[in-house]
Amino acid sequence: MFNPSPEHINHPLRRSRCTVVLVGWLLLSGVSALAHDLWIEPSAFVADPTKVIGVKLRVGVDFLGDPVPRDPALIDRFIAVDRQGSKPIIGRDGEDPAGLLRVTTLGLVVVGYSSKPSQIVLAAQKFNEYLVEEGLEAVAALRTKRNETNTEAREAFARCAKSLISSGPVNPADGDRALGFTLELIAERNPYALQPGQSLPVRLVYQNKPLGGVLVVAVNRRNPSAKLSARSGKDGRVPFSWPNQACGSSKRCT
């Protein structure tokens, strides 16, 4: 999920939201009480070449959400990328899971979804509360400057999400891949290979360029209330570290 800074704002307000789910327990996003996260929830995070993985789309907060059936009118890109390249994720319209995937190659598989733009009109009070909760003081100041604090916000937004699936032996050299989404979070280490105490650096890009000053929030599925948050640096990077948690080949955090 992307929280806009003034240089990204016109009328209507433009906003992209992007999330990435890593090893089934961590969600990286900009959490918002106003606009729920969209995430990809595979039926398995460790691939079995003999089985088909259901690629579920969910929308909500803290890993509690509603199913998002496959809707071709909303899909911009729905793909899986591995060592052999990119392929579309198939599925039946109106069905949940929204996609089906069989993983036949070794390594890290990046599943990505991006939506086409949608529009919404937000009441002034609700939108102003959202700005406070998200720490978007620059946007609130801009609305004040334009005498728009008490006016509704017209927003055009798009959502994107990624999920990482492991196939075969874990290779620390295997990494996340940039999918070319307008807004994208990229894990700079293989999360399946992390050892206790190691950090997981992520990089935020907007139109393939580093995006700084944006709030990124990490949510642990086992304890959603224990969130970590930080703003991206000028290089778009955010380091996250979870003390006393092990994330190794078992793909689980303790």
State residue 120's pLDDT score.
79
State residue 14's pLDDT score.
46
Contact status, residue 191 vs residue 110, Cβ threshold 8 Å: no
Residue 175 lies in a domain: yes
State residue 70's pLDDT score.
98
| pLDDT tier, 4 (very low <50, low <70, confident <90, very high otherwise) | very low
Supply the range of the domain harboring residue 162.
13-117+157-241
How many domains, in total, are found in the chain? 1
State residue 33's pLDDT score.
35
Return the percentage of the chain with pLDDT > 70, whole number.
Answer: 83
SS3 breakdown of the chain: % helix, strand, coil, rounded to 5? Answer: 10, 45, 45
- The two most distant CA atoms of the chain are separated, in Å, by 60
Contact status, residue 71 vs residue 96, Cβ threshold 8 Å: no
Residue 176 lies in a domain: yes
State residue 132's pLDDT score.
79
What is the overall mean pLDDT for the chain?
83
Residue 163 lies in a domain: yes
State residue 229's pLDDT score.
87
CA dihedral for 228, 231, 233, 236, sign (positive or negative): positive
Residue 139 lies in a domain: no
What is the average pLDDT across 103-131? 90
Does 34 have pLDDT greater than 50?
Answer: no
Contact status, residue 215 vs residue 134, Cβ threshold 8 Å: yes
Paired with 119 in beta bridges are 156
Does 62 have pLDDT greater than 60?
Answer: yes
Residue 5 lies in a domain: no
Residue 251 lies in a domain: no
6: left (phi over 0), alpha (psi -120 to 50) or beta: alpha
What is the pTM assigned to this prediction? 0.81
124 compared with 30, residue with greater pLDDT: 124
Residue 126 lies in a domain: no
Question: What tokens were used for 86?
Answer: 């990119």
CB-side neighbour CA atoms (13 Å) of 242: 22
Q: pLDDT tens, 70-82?
A: 999 999 999 999 9
Residue 18 lies in a domain: yes
State residue 37's pLDDT score.
85
Contact status, residue 240 vs residue 43, Cβ threshold 8 Å: no
CB within 8 Å of 252: residues ≥ 6 apart: 23, 25, 246
Q: β-pairing, 153-167 with 223-231?
A: unpaired
Q: pLDDT tens, 152-210?
A: 888 777 889 999 999 999 999 998 999 999 999 999 999 999 887 788 899 999 999 99
Q: pLDDT tens, 220-252?
A: 888 888 888 888 999 999 988 765 543 433 232
